[in-house]
Amino acid sequence: MNEAEKNCIFCKILRGEAESSMVAENDLCTAFLTIGPFNAGHTLVIPKRHAVTFTDLTPAEAAAMAKLAQQVAAALEGSDLPSEGFNLWMANGSAAGQDVFHAHMHVFPRLKGDNFRVEVTWPQPPRSELDKVAGRIRAALEAQA
């Protein structure tokens, strides 16, 4: 076990060295309540293997994470917890707001007027600029193949 895994709070939860309120699991991922919920039922879905970001996941882990997040979201919708919708949130890297460096997806119920805000102004670049950016991404995808 490397130092990052040894000190990772999510890895400690998986090893039973830290408390958690478990919700569900599958072969590759686990879901538990966050200790800092935005609304009741705010759940984290994490891979069982230590991976820092979404791009560090194997395709199977990414699929398992999405499947478990979908199941948790459906359970939140079907539960008696207050919910008028839900958000999925995943921050990757410190610039994106990631504060625990073990990949994790937030699944949390939303209520009208709950004051959750992500404020952003979406620029609308010209199509020619979008086409250039798309070409750069396609080139990177081809390089991965």
Do 71 and 89 touch, CB atoms closer than 8 A?
A: no
Residues 6+ apart with CB under 8 A from 10: 44, 46, 50, 100, 102, 104
CATH classification for the domain delimited by 3-116, as one of 3.40.50.1460, 3.30.230.10, 3.20.20.70, 3.30.428.10: 3.30.428.10
pLDDT of residue 40 exceeding 90: yes
CB 44 within 8 A of CB 53: no
- ∠ at Cα 11 (9, 12), nearest 5°? 60
Question: pLDDT of 57-113, one tens digit each?
Answer: 999 999 999 999 999 999 999 999 999 999 999 999 999 999 999 999 999 999 999
Record the tokens describing residue 71, joined without a space.
């199941």
Task: Examine the residue annotation and report whether 106 is marked as an active-site residue of this protein.
Answer: no
Task: State the catalytic residue, choosing from 42, 102, 104, 106.
Answer: 104
Residue 5 CA to residue 49 CA, distance in Å, equals: 9
